[in-house]
Structure 1
Amino acid sequence: KMQKQAFFKIKEKKDKGFEFENIVPIPYVKWTDYHDEVLIRFSPEIIPYLVNLKKNFTQHALSDIAELNSKYSIILYRWLSMNYNQYEHYSVKGGRREEQVESYRNPSISIRELREMTDTIKEYSRFQSFENRVLKNAVVEITQHTSFNVSYEKVKKGRSIDSIVFHIAKKPVAKNEYYKQEEQDPVYLENKADREVKQQALFTEAMQSPYTKLLGEKWLINVADMQNISTMTGLAEKVYPLYDELKEARGLKGVETHLSYVASKQEGYSKRNVVKYLKTAIEGYLPTVALQDLEQPERANYKKPKPRTLEEVAKDFLPEYENITTETEKEELRQIKAEIDKKLRGEVSQKSH
């Protein structure tokens, strides 16, 4: 399907004007009926665009495209994916104003640009025909066969339709088909309530964890992952305790260094299970850390803070007299300081013995 339908129209601004390229990306496919090997040859002209997919936010699921029958559906799906990928990226990484981020989830395109993108400048001259043949069919097919729910609204300028605003949302995970039968079972309901309480606690813990922020900064998780309760509870339960071990040995900076390395190695890896992927990575690294600490004891726990003396603690939470406004507060402070002085004298006395 991709070989027969995929088509790229490249428009690039140059010094004197625009340069255009039309590329059929897959000119050759070969397979047999006696083994599972398939040879797919890409045209060399498309390779620079393929290797920059991640950088240019045009990654999308090939399994989704395989379900689309119309070339207009494929073209529109790619454009919608590019926008939604930017929405997910900037929602985590920042760098865009809130209204800009939302515009990626609700992208707008002029009718002229949409016709150029779908190569229908000279076809379906009446908007009604264009909408029925190109727009409506593509939106219905994308909603039925991909991970997106898509709708649109028409924006008028005068009497004519000037542009289209699309609204994109990720589909929720499908429910277990037996959920109705299960929810009638009292034992299931009781266990379900316990699971939900534990799950909510783990989810809250994960969202508040500094590790979640680090994973987002390294592009190891995205907004969809953060909204997935199963993913976040899995991280809190199976991965973050291992990060605590690494933090104990190398500090938070050590965890960040490890995640930077993991991020650099994930290129080309389709992480279907992010929890398993990250858990495997840290489980493989912790033995190395332990071995380094045995061979170089000076590295062990180098980030671990030294125990603080009672005097140091007292200085942190006891204000100075000049900051106290009432005599009652001053008297309370004198009593607290007197008690601490006694304990400090005892501490000094014990040290001398």
Structure 2
Amino acid sequence: MLIIPEKQENQKQVLTLNELSKRKVVEHNSLITSIAKMDKTPLKMFELAVSCINTEEPPKDNIVYLSKRDLFAFFKVSDNDKHSRFKEAIEKMQKQAFFQIKEEAGKGFKFKSIVPIPYVEWTDYHDEVKIEFHREIMPYLINLKKNFTQHALSDIAELNSKYSIILYRWLSMNYNQYEHYSVKGGRRAEQVEAYRNPLISVKELRVMTDTVADYKRFTHFETRVLKEPLDEITKHTSFNVTYDKIKKGRSIDSIVFHIEKKRTADDNSYKLEDTAYQEDKARKAETEDKLAIEAMKSNYTTLLLENMLLSPFEMQDTKIMAGLQVHVYPLYDELKNLRGLNGVKDHLSYVASKQEAYSKRNVPKYLKKAIEQYLPTVKRQDLNNE
């Protein structure tokens, strides 16, 4: 029996269709919003190739390998002419297809035109296809720490229109941010909702879909670039999408999309994570309420109100009151033990006289800083007296 040793270096990993169906496409947002100067086949081939990149261990030579058999299956090509059609798609991608990327640079913008896959190698007698990415496209595909979008390759596989793919990628970019900030926080409620209901001007949409010179009549543009693609996206992907037209004068100025994600059995992990987050949030809110109630009963709160260091309106804010109870009032207890309640009153009277320096947007922080600066002075005075 002949035993062929396993390759230890530069081993080629040819991915199967089953593996591809589970893969995600990860791209920088600048690439998502760029102008894809290509039709649907090169664009889908690019997305397919990107899904094969291991972002944790990116290929040093910018090369990935695909199975030709599974690549045809991904494109649902089964006729006898598939090899010549594959060759034609490759040639078109290399000769005509490129991304036009617009990025902020200094006081203006920097524009880049990048042919994403300049080299593809295959033979008519072997199943393997070698795909090499252009070095300039790689920063948009690897080492992505922020401003990136992840979407399912299986969704892209079902889309048969260039506009469907472009819109799906852009909608995914917005919905990813909605999911992120819904769980992690860091945005106001209206900002979070805006990610789920993204707005784009018709002018920007025409640029992104490369239809500035096409479909001059809005009715034609709406049918080809909005209605038909969104029907396809809703039918074949994880999103249900509708839209509204916003007028400015007599013409349609902008489009606002409404994205809803379809729930499946695979969402259990997300639901569990979301439930745990909500439970933790509820526990924190309950603790905050208890601390706020304690603070409202404190004599120190009365003194702050008398010295106009706390307003009745701020007193209704549980976050402010809880902050006082945890971070400030224990320090007032220390001062009270050293100088009595009159010592606390004198301190607050002095702080009130200097309150032009105090930001009312963060009462606990200001008062905590004031008492922390004062306490060491009191302690030194007491030591000197001893």
- Shorter-normalised TM-score: what interval? 0.3 to 0.5
Higher share in helix: 1
TM-score normalized by the length of structure 1:
0.47
- Answer 1 or 2: which has greater strand percent: 2
Larger RCO (alpha carbons 8 Å, 6+ apart): 2
